[in-house]
């Protein structure tokens, strides 16, 4: 049997010292690591606390900023008052025009009837023309025609008719002409219809090779000076007779 060699006391001491030193080193490293982790945790805790404090501040601000319904109503009233403040309106100069125009396109009326109504209207005031055409619709006033047409009993008229449909279309156009006169800042009492014409417009075809009745109408009004009353000149003979009488 071989006996194990016994360690010497010196070797045992050296081994013990090495182990002790190694433990010291290990424990030092662990301490450093613990310190680092503790610092990180402290930093994290500090940041969390700061965030909590900031959140509380934000909540307080939000509570302070949130307006009450009374404040909202007051703010709205102030805004309305500001809006109601009078703003200086830019005055635009209205250019006065010399004439007013009204056009009728594709009028559902006979061209012949429109021509005679244009002749009847010309050189008249707009309101008088409208009133007379209303009488035509009521069959009270005939419009003078030419040709072999039945006679109508009216002063200064031999033959005439009552073109009701055409008269309605002309009343519509005359009202538009009156509106244009007022917009153009013209005097309605001084205006006269100095131009009125009716011509053929595009006539759609119908069955049997015939065409429907369509007319194109143009009306123009213009201001004319009021006719001054001119006194008639007395003849020379009357003046001589007056001188001899004196």
CATH value at residue 132: 3.90.470.10
Return the pLDDT at 225.
85
Domain-located, residue 196: yes
Question: Which residues are CB-neighbours of 167 under 8 A, at least 6 positions away?
Answer: 117, 133, 136, 137, 143
Show the tokens assigned to 246: 């004196």
Q: How many domains does the chain have?
A: 1
Question: Which residues are CB-neighbours of 72 under 8 A, at least 6 positions away?
Answer: none
Q: Which domain holds residue 165?
A: 99-223
Domain-located, residue 244: no
Domain-located, residue 91: no
Instruction: Record the pTM.
Output: 0.55
How does strand 215-223 pair with strand 99-107?
antiparallel
What distances in angstroms separate CA 43 from CA 32, 46, 49, 89, one per listed residue? 17, 5, 10, 66
Q: In whole angstroms, what is the distance from residue 150 CA to residue 157 CA?
A: 11
pLDDT value at 2 more than 80: no
Domain-located, residue 18: no
Domain-located, residue 209: yes
Highest-pLDDT range among 6-15, 52-61, 70-79, 208-217: 208-217
Domain-located, residue 59: no
């Amino acid at each position: 049997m071989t006996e194990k060699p016994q360690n010497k006391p010196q070797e045992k001491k050296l081994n013990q010292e090495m182990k002790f030193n190694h433990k010291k080193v290990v424990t030092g490293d662990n301490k450093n690591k613990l310190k680092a982790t503790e610092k990180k945790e402290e930093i994290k805790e500090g940041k969390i606390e700061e965030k909590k404090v900031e959140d509380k501040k934000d909540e307080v601000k939000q509570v302070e900023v949130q307006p009450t319904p009374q404040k909202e109503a007051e703010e709205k009233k102030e805004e309305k008052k500001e809006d109601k403040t009078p703003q200086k309106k830019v005055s635009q100069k209205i250019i006065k025009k010399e004439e007013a125009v009204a056009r009728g396109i594709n009028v559902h009326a006979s061209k012949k009837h429109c021509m005679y109504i244009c002749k009847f209207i010309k050189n008249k005031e707009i309101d008088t023309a409208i009133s007379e055409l209303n009488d035509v619709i009521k069959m009270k006033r005939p419009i003078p025609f030419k040709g072999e047409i039945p006679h109508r009993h009216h002063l200064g008229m031999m033959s005439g008719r009552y073109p009701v449909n055409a008269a309605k279309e002309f009343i519509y156009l005359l009202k538009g002409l009156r509106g244009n006169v007022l917009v153009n800042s013209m005097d309605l009492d001084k205006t006269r219809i100095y131009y009125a014409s009716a011509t053929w417009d595009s006539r759609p075809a119908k069955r049997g090779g015939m065409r429907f009745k369509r007319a194109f109408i143009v009306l123009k009004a213009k201001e004319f000076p009021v006719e001054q009353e001119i006194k008639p000149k007395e003849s020379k003979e009357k003046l001589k007779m007056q001188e001899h009488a004196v």
